[in-house]
Amino acid sequence: MSDLTRRTAAELADALAAGETTSVEVTQASLDRIAEVDSAVHAFLHVDADGALAAARAADQRRASGTAASALDGVPVAVKDVLATEGLPTTCGSRILEGWVPPYDATVVARLRAAGLPILGKTNMDEFAMGSSTEHSAYGPTHNPWDLGRIPGGSGGGSAAAVAAFEAPLAVGTDTGGSIRQPGAVTGTVGVKPTYGGVSRYGLVALANSLDQAGPVTRTVLDAALLHEVIGGHDPRDSTSIDRPLPALVEAARQGATGDVKGLRVGVVKELTGEGYQAGVQQRFDEAVRLLVDAGAEVVEVSCPTFVHALATYYLILPAEASSNLAKFDAMRYGLRVLPEGVEAPSAEEVMRATRDRGFGDEVKRRIIIGTYALSSGYYDAYYGQAQKVRTLVSRDFAAAFEQADVLLSPTAPTTAFKLGEKLDDPVAMYLNDLATIPANLAGVPGISVPSGLADEDGLPTGVQVLAPALADDRVYRVGAALETLLTDRWGGPLLDRAPALEGASA
């Protein structure tokens, strides 16, 4: 295994700045690692070796002439296949977009390119980001590098597995109900959902516009902050983009890494612990909280009573928005077109019906139908209207909790990674994975998941989630980095060092 693939993005950036390595070497090391292990992991839907190496050569030239485009110039990155990439296929894990090559870049992608990060390829995901296991990808599931028979979380299982398997030092994900944070928890990696509007949604194929947010997927908190500063900030092309500067995220991560949390008020959300959480997940969480207390933090229990309704609220709002969004897949302007069998001179509508039946998978169909139901007259007030009201109550719960605490803590996901196939035909059991992550999306607040250890019962990674008030993304980095330092010191090294080697693994 190449040593370069084990290094953090921050270390690679330093080595590149010091001239100790080149972007071509680093990028080639990632590409070699992908070639070595991705047949077993299947984190990538598309690998762009030529494009990545060309970008790496350009980065090396800039470094050589002292004109680095950013701190991360030359550090390669993987991008979730839901972000439009000019010249690179973008499928969203769906047959309906198989082979589609966007004619433009998402703002996130444009910023990665402008900052000099070679794009290794596009990562696997649940179809249109609907799922918590990456099993709903039309192109086959991604496997958890910790146990190839288990799910890597979802929807961004590809991005999380790519960094967990050392195929990429950095990746970008999107989080609508936990799709960055929950894969982070079950793969022993770091994931951040920024404040809603903190990262541009331009060119992000929308699942639920009012909830979607792109963010960093990395192995360390500092790496996440470095990447967040590249992709975040105001974008005039996204009307929901926040028009003010990002907080100093890298600085916050460095400050937090000292492990000093004296005076910090930590709220443990009563409704997001205990029943429904696997024993080993709860144990690691309780230990993480104790570590913060030992380091000088003050812990209070806070109650957010409407959080128990957040899951139901989400599974009304999301399908409603998704069913409207996916109406654009009409077989006319791009994507798949299927002609219905046995129909002579079919109409546009008949072609559309046949195409959507063939092009969408089960979970997408389920959610489109639920969304259509929730938005239909007669049910609108009882369901969608009510869900929007409960959303207000969830935000009020957050506001009250943040009067008592600077940050809120909970386990990121209720369980460790489950076996592939286990919950595929039990949608409600699948939805429960997002129990703890969904409230942040409903209220738009930022959250991070950092590894909290391995569960005793199965030896699989667990995660702890830190939530902060809207716009206070720096707080999740500060507390996330503190937790990372305190836990890593205790473990005597990063959690991922304990993941099994993947060489010789078979799919």
Partner 1 sequence: MPDISRDEVSHLADLARIDLSEEELDHLAPQLSVILESIASISEVAADDVPPTSHALPLTNVFREDVARPGLTAEQALAGAPAVDQQRFMVPRILGEEA
Through-space distance between the first and last CA atoms of the chain, rounded to whole angstroms? 19
Catalytic residue among 94, 159, 179, 410: 179
CB of 208 to partner 1, least distance (A): 11
Phi, psi of 24 (to 5 degrees): -60, -45
Which residue in 129, 104, 292 sits closest to 202, CA to CA?
A: 104
Q: How far is CA 248 from CA 57, 251, 472, in A?
A: 30, 5, 10
Question: Considering beta carbons, is residue 18 or 345 the nearer one to partner 1?
Answer: 345
CB of 91 to partner 1, least distance (A): 12
CB of 324 to partner 1, least distance (A): 10
Which residue in 410, 397, 469 sits closest to 436, CA to CA?
A: 410
Q: Which of residues 389-408 bind partner 1 (CB under 8 A)?
A: 389-393, 395
Contact flags string 154-193 toward partner 1, x per CB under 8 A: ----------------------------------------
Q: Which of residues 124-153 bind partner 1 (CB under 8 A)?
A: none
CB of 505 to partner 1, least distance (A): 33
Given 348, 399, 400, 507, the residue binding partner 1 (CB under 8 A): 348
Question: Considering beta carbons, is residue 439 or 463 the nearer one to partner 1?
Answer: 439
Among the residue ranges 37-45, 141-149, 353-361, 453-461, the one whose residues contact partner 1 (CB under 8 A):
353-361
Catalytic residue among 155, 159, 200, 410: 155
Question: Considering beta carbons, is residue 299 or 393 the nearer one to partner 1?
Answer: 393
CB of 305 to partner 1, least distance (A): 10
What single DSSP character describes residue 339?
A: P
Residues 162 and 419: their CA atoms lie apart, in Å, by: 19
Give the chain's radius of gyration (CA, Å): 21
Query: In the annotation, is 30 catalytic?
Result: no
Question: Considering beta carbons, is residue 101 or 293 the nearer one to partner 1?
Answer: 101
Given 19, 149, 276, 385, the residue binding partner 1 (CB under 8 A): 385
Would you list the DSSP string of 142-184? Answer: --BTTBTTB---SSSHHHHHHHHTTS-SEEEEE-SSSTTHHHH
Question: Considering beta carbons, is residue 62 or 337 the nearer one to partner 1?
Answer: 337
What single DSSP character describes residue 467?
A: E
Q: Which structure tokens are listed for 46?
A: 């598309």
236 lines the binding site for partner 1 (CB under 8 A):
yes
386 lines the binding site for partner 1 (CB under 8 A):
yes
Query: In the annotation, is 179 catalytic?
Result: yes
Q: Which of residues 455-484 bind partner 1 (CB under 8 A)?
A: 470
Q: Which structure tokens are listed for 89?
A: 């296929």
Total residues contacting partner 1 by CB under 8 A comes to: 76
| CB-count exposure of residue 49 (10 Å: 0-12, 13-18, 19+) | middle
CB of 50 to partner 1, least distance (A): 20
Q: How far is CA 36 from CA 53, 327, 379, in A?
A: 18, 39, 52
Q: Which of residues 189-208 bind partner 1 (CB under 8 A)?
A: 195-197
Question: Considering beta carbons, is residue 150 or 367 the nearer one to partner 1?
Answer: 367
Catalytic residue among 80, 122, 193, 423: 80
Query: In the annotation, is 94 catalytic?
Result: no
263 lines the binding site for partner 1 (CB under 8 A):
no
Question: Considering beta carbons, is residue 149 or 236 the nearer one to partner 1?
Answer: 236
Question: Considering beta carbons, is residue 296 or 385 the nearer one to partner 1?
Answer: 385
Residues 152 and 230: their CA atoms lie apart, in Å, by: 26
Among the residue ranges 167-175, 181-189, 246-254, 423-431, the one whose residues contact partner 1 (CB under 8 A):
423-431
Which residue in 267, 355, 353 sits closest to 307, CA to CA?
A: 267
Among the residue ranges 42-50, 216-224, 296-304, 345-353, the one whose residues contact partner 1 (CB under 8 A):
345-353
H helices of 192-248, in order, are 221-231
Residue with tokens 């309780």: 286
**Helical pair 9-17 and 23-41, crossing angle rounded to 10 deg:** 160
Q: Which residues contact 268 (CB under 8 A, 6 or more apart)?
A: 289, 299, 300, 301, 302, 408, 409, 410
Given 173, 183, 444, 453, the residue binding partner 1 (CB under 8 A): 444
Given 100, 422, 458, 494, the residue binding partner 1 (CB under 8 A): 100
Residues 480 and 144: their CA atoms lie apart, in Å, by: 23
Question: Considering beta carbons, is residue 18 or 428 the nearer one to partner 1?
Answer: 428
Question: Considering beta carbons, is residue 149 or 385 the nearer one to partner 1?
Answer: 385
CB of 459 to partner 1, least distance (A): 31
Buried b (16+ CB within 10 A) or exposed e, 392-414: ebbbebbeebbeebbbbbbbbbb
SS3 121: strand
Q: Which residues contact 277 (CB under 8 A, 6 or more apart)?
A: 285, 411, 414, 415
Given 372, 491, 494, 505, the residue binding partner 1 (CB under 8 A): 372
Q: Which of residues 284-343 bind partner 1 (CB under 8 A)?
A: 306, 309, 311-313, 315-316, 323, 327, 330-337, 340
Q: Which residues contact 270 (CB under 8 A, 6 or more apart)?
A: 301, 302, 303, 304
Which residue in 446, 443, 441, 436 sits closest to 398, CA to CA?
A: 443
CB of 366 to partner 1, least distance (A): 6
Active site residues: 80, 155, 179
